[in-house]
Homo-oligomer: A and B are copies of this chain.
Amino acid sequence: MKTNLDRVFSALADPTRRRIVARLARGETTVMDLAAPFKLAQPTISKHIKVLERAGLVSRGRAAQTRPCRLEPAPLRAAMEWTGSYRRLWEDSFDRLGVFLDSNAQAQKKENRSGR
């Protein structure tokens, strides 16, 4: 039984997939377009996209004969929050921006209160 975070980190462990994510961050696009920069066969890219999809990082629509891919940020956020939860380890003081992590709730409150 694999957790979501397992699949997210696993998906991000491949440089091809990270490049795909980077491309999708600039906007929705097609499989062919995603495959273009790579020397890999196109079905190979399809497989990578499917991995991203199973991790919840990508969602897809249908438009004529294309399957446009869109980046879903939530899992990226989850990954960042996990790694960020150790932020205090590389920061010397606790009362930096870095509090964002120790409690997201607290960070939220602060954000709301201060409007920053």
A interface residues (Cβ-Cβ under 8 A, vs B): 3, 5-7, 9-10, 12-15, 18, 21, 25, 71, 73-74, 76-77, 79-80, 82-84, 86-87, 89-93, 95-100, 103, 107, 110-111, 114, 116
- Majority SS of interface residues in chain A? helix
Q: A6-B15, A13-B6, A73-B90 are in contact. Are A96 and B111 (CB under 8 A)?
A: yes
Number of copies of chain A assembled together: 2
In the assembled complex, the CB of A68 is this many whole angstroms from the nearest CB of chain B, namely 16
Starting from the known contacts A21-B86, A92-B111, A96-B116, 8 additional A-B residue pairs (CB-CB under 8 Å) come to: A3-B15, A12-B83, A71-B86, A74-B90, A91-B107, A95-B116, A96-B111, A97-B111
